Amino acid sequence: KKKKRMKPSAKKEHPFSSPSPVTFIAIILGMAFLVLSAYDIGEPSFLEPVVNPVRQFALGMFGSKENLQFLVKAAVWAHILEALYALAIALKVGHFDTCALWFVQTLVAGYPSLSILLSIIKIERAEEKEE
């Protein structure tokens, strides 16, 4: 069964929504601390009281810097692939006016952003069926 492609509307503005600021901050800080824990990049001394306990916790959980480095690479690739998927979906359903926003937001926030986009599309499809 072939999926019906949504027709783009030149006049319709498509919704754009973001995860909560707390979610954004948690993801950005989490990625930053993961990078600082995985790589010896010479963080400023004022960050050491925060980074050192996080690094010890991360090493305790994942065993080695090599494992943390793998996790960093996997997380970066996951965000890239999620962002490309969000862009492709937004374009496929005709959200030309917001597709770049979905791409950038999903690149930074990952799954929380992608799940919002998928929810919006699900609602739009349900509304189309009602019409």
pLDDT digits (tens, 9 = 90+) for 54-112: 899 999 999 999 999 999 999 999 999 999 999 999 999 888 888 999 999 999 999 99
The torsion angle over the Cα atoms of residues 71, 109, 19 and 130, rounded to 10 degrees, is -100
Q: Determine the Cα–Cα distance for residues 56 and 66; give it in Å rounded to an integer.
A: 14
Distance CA 24, CA 29 (A): 8
**Alpha carbon distances (Å) from 64 to 40, 53, 58:** 13, 15, 9
Torsion of CA 44, 77, 27, 115, to 10 degrees: 170
| Entry pTM | 0.80
Digit-coded pLDDT (tens) for 9-68: 445 677 888 899 999 999 999 999 999 889 988 777 888 888 889 899 999 999 999 999
Q: What residues does each domain of the chain span?
A: 21-130
